[in-house]
Chain A
Amino acid sequence: MNPPNQTPHRRPAAPLTEPQQREATRLCVETGLMLLQHGAESALVENLTRRLALALGVERAEVALLANAVVVTTLGEGNCITTVRRNEDRGINMHVVTEVQRAVLDAEDGRLDAAGYRARFEAIRPLRYSRVLTSAVIGLSCACFARLVGADWASCSVAFVAAGVAMAVRLQIVRWHFNPLVNFFLTAFVATSIAGQAAIYSIGDTPRIAMASCVLLLVPGYPLINSISDMVKGYINTGLARGMYALLLSAGACAGILLAMSVWNVWAWL
């Protein structure tokens, strides 16, 4: 494994020809884009993209990350190639990040050349867990959150049902390609409505905890942590964008919670 500031040991003696440099640039920008689309933090995106460029024999590479675009410039033999790709969010997928990273590591170790890397890169298919299983486990997770703050078993079951159904709704709305803000609003409404029925029909002694726990599947934890990590590592630009988006998603969920509470006239939280 080579640190990014060292010359890779396997660098070809001959400088890259222009078509080769062009292909290397494309591979780099697509790698950076893929990582950014699937929720990798900025430091990792920049680091892997530069390492890949060096591994493919480029003299020097620069990467600029914007909130919704990636720019890569490679320099070699007095030639400078710059390219931009627009970024659209594809949802957090750590499987993709892992696979891309392993491909880059292999390229760095000299096991993959440009053609081999492209074949490996294009073969990456995002892993998706089954929707039923995910919904069940998320229901269980929210029941555990409720239990952690001292809900009784009946309220934990309410949180389980409300969060499980809400997660199934959320995944279905994702398939219909709605804006995530709309999705969070609707999902929060569904979760709070189900948990609110438990408060109306007094199921369990701690219905308010159930109502609070069942929407915790909507806390944008990953974007929030990524946002601060980015800013700590000097990527203020992407950090602010991610933080703002996380806040907007939370506000969408909050609107759904408030609407459900007014519709059913059950008030929790405060």
Chain B
Amino acid sequence: MKILLDLLQQMALASVPAVGFGMVFNVPMRALGYCAAGGALGRGLRFLLVEGAHIPVEWSTLLAAATVSLLGVLVAQRLRAHPKVFTVAAMIPMIPGVPLFKTLIAIVQIQQKGPSDELISTAIASGLQAFFVVAALAVGLAMPGLLFYRRKPVV
């Protein structure tokens, strides 16, 4: 089953950056494992939704981030730490870094070489993709607060 192998590869590859950026954010040692698990789960879920169910990437990202965040609440209450401490690092493998830089580079090229249809469409399309995916990640992470913890703190 090819999709299963791809899924495992995606999950394994995603857990490394989650831990790596967790270390840049100085996540406490005990929570680094949760970063890895969250990164693998989020990226794996998004891969399944995009490749398996053909859901657009922004909506898949939203669902994946919300799932990680909801599970993160359970962990956070046991760990006595806010879920954002480790869930943001878990979102890093889904951050649209390449579209973000592509947008900025295309904008500089437009300034230098003059506007062409190709450059303008690259700038707009990657910029919008970067914005929507980041928004989906942030709203997905906020989901427990928006749905269940409306009047009380998570931890």
Taking Cβ atoms with an 8 Å cutoff, the residues of A that contact B are: 1, 3-5, 39-41, 43-44, 47, 51, 92-98, 101-102, 105, 126-129, 133-134, 137-138, 140-142, 144-145, 147-149, 212, 215-217, 219, 221-222, 224-229, 232-233, 250-251, 253-255, 257-258, 269-270
What is the minimal beta-carbon distance from A134 to any residue of chain B, in angstroms?
A: 5
A-B contact pairs, 27 of them (CB 8 A): A3-B151, A4-B153, A44-B82, A92-B25, A92-B26, A94-B89, A96-B26, A97-B85, A98-B85, A137-B19, A138-B21, A141-B17, A148-B10, A216-B97, A216-B98, A217-B24, A221-B97, A222-B25, A224-B95, A225-B141, A229-B142, A232-B139, A251-B104, A253-B101, A257-B105, A269-B105, A270-B105
Question: Who on chain B is nearest to A143 by CB?
Answer: B16
A232 touches B88 (CB 8 A): no
Known: A94-B31, A101-B82, A148-B14. 5 other contacts (CB 8 A): A1-B155, A41-B84, A98-B82, A232-B139, A270-B122
Sorted nearest first, the 5 A-B pairs with minimum C-beta distance are: A228-B138, A141-B20, A219-B97, A141-B17, A254-B104
Given A225-B88, A257-B105: A233 and B145 within 8 A (CB)? yes
Secondary structure of the B side of the interface? helix
Query: Size range of the interface on B?
Result: 35 or more
Q: Chain A nearest CB: distance from B93 CB in Å?
A: 8
Task: Give every chain A residue within 8 A of B155 (Cβ-Cβ).
Answer: 1, 101, 105
Report B110-145 residues with CB < 8 Å from chain A CB: 119, 122, 134-135, 137-139, 141-142, 145
Partner-A contacts on B (CB < 8 A)? 10, 13-14, 16-17, 19-28, 31, 80-82, 84-86, 88-89, 91-93, 95, 97-98, 100-102, 104-106, 108-109, 119, 122, 134-135, 137-139, 141-142, 145-146, 151-153, 155
